[in-house]
Amino acid sequence: MPTSRAPAPLSATDYLKQVLTARVYDVAIESDLESARTLSRRLHNRIYLKREDQQPVFSFKLRGAYNKMAHLSPEQLKAGVICASAGNHAQGVALAAHKLSSRAVIVMPTTTPQVKVDAVKALGGEVVLAGDSYSDAYGHAVQLQAEQGLTFIHPFDDPLVIAGQGTIGMEILRQHQGPLAAVFLAIGGGGLISGVGAYIKAVRPDVKVIGVQMADSSAMAQSVAQGQRVTLTDVGLFADGTAVKQVGEETFRVATEVVDEFVTVDTDAVCAAIKDVFIDTRSIVEPSGAMAVAAVKQYVATHKTKGESYVAVLSGANMNFDRLRF
């Protein structure tokens, strides 16, 4: 797989350094950490929302993509980058490339909705439509990468991508300095939770890191339970930002170390959470973006906690309204 990994696995403290020196703020904002007043009152706990839906491309993905690309050589940037994605990573890479004046080729499956194709084009990305599925698009991207001497920007399985996402953990611990019971994060390939989890475990190991997956798309939870990476044959597509059949090698290794607990949620719980987020923020997040909130509610109900503080990361807001009616 054409990722550029560090020769030896990075420990949690190495990730601490990588996060502290990550370059993300040329494109990303320090998003707000907001109290969810209505939800907090209802759950008898203090719930804070980390507003990654506020980012320029409406998800956190530009942090990792930009950090990766900011570490490329001028020659590599000049040659250009490539990725395969139908979703938020595509927009993150396109925006990061635009900022760094690099060419960005984005391979998307032919089934990608036109709005997503247009969003990438508007950011200056060159869209190549190939294959019916993500894995076909991925295969095509690998081929183009080799033919044209481009650098592959992986959506999650790369230490620099992981460290870029980890800056969210750094911000959370800076923005919230009192007692904090747990941080909840949606998992797809595992880059977000690896970066944030490694940072939190290095700085505040008392804070629990809780991974959230859809019941029909839980590759990371199953992989960690079995002690090896599993490949799912089918994944539910409702939460498209987290529908991943196989997690990364490095993200599997890091998540195994830093995730305290996994929670799985279903479609009804996520729909209810989208509404909860709307009530408190007047913003609509996408299904993957609301998974952490659904998990906080479930966790509080199961553990019957009171007066604790929890953070839920609202990871994205690229809502596909066509899918909402399902």
Catalytic residues: 61, 315
288 touches ligand PLP by CB under 6 A: yes
Least gap, CB of 284 to ligand PLP (angstroms): 13
Phi, psi of 107 (to 5 degrees): -90, 125
CA–CA dist 107, 116 (Å, integer): 12
Stretch touching ligand PLP by CB under 6 A, among 40-48, 76-84, 188-196, 263-271: 188-196
Residue in the block written with tokens 């081929």: 143
CA–CA dist 312, 300 (Å, integer): 13
DSSP letters spanning 202-213:
HH-TTSEEEEEE
316 touches ligand PLP by CB under 6 A: yes
- What binding mask, one character per residue, do residues 27-66 give for ligand PLP by CB under 6 A, x or -? --------------------------------x-x-----
State how far the alpha carbon of 301 is from the alpha carbons of 247, 295, 306, in Å: 29, 10, 10
- DSSP annotation of 25 reads T
Q: Considering only residues 109, 166, 169, 191, which one is a binding residue for ligand PLP as defined by CB under 6 A?
A: 191
Least gap, CB of 195 to ligand PLP (angstroms): 8
Under rule CB under 6 A, which residues in 110-169 are in contact with ligand PLP?
155-156
173 vs 312 by CB, closer to ligand PLP: 312
Q: Are 215 and 202 in contact (CB under 8 A)?
A: no
CA–CA dist 142, 190 (Å, integer): 21
79 vs 117 by CB, closer to ligand PLP: 117
Residue in the block written with tokens 């350094």: 17
The torsion region of residue 58 among left (phi > 0), alpha (psi -120 to 50) and beta comes to: left
Least gap, CB of 282 to ligand PLP (angstroms): 19
264 touches ligand PLP by CB under 6 A: no
Least gap, CB of 194 to ligand PLP (angstroms): 7
197 touches ligand PLP by CB under 6 A: no
Least gap, CB of 192 to ligand PLP (angstroms): 4
Polymer length of the chain: 326
CA–CA dist 228, 218 (Å, integer): 14
Q: Considering only residues 88, 91, 145, 151, which one is a binding residue for ligand PLP as defined by CB under 6 A?
A: 88
Interaction site with ligand PLP (CB under 6 A): 59, 61, 87-88, 155-156, 186-193, 241-242, 286, 288-289, 315-316
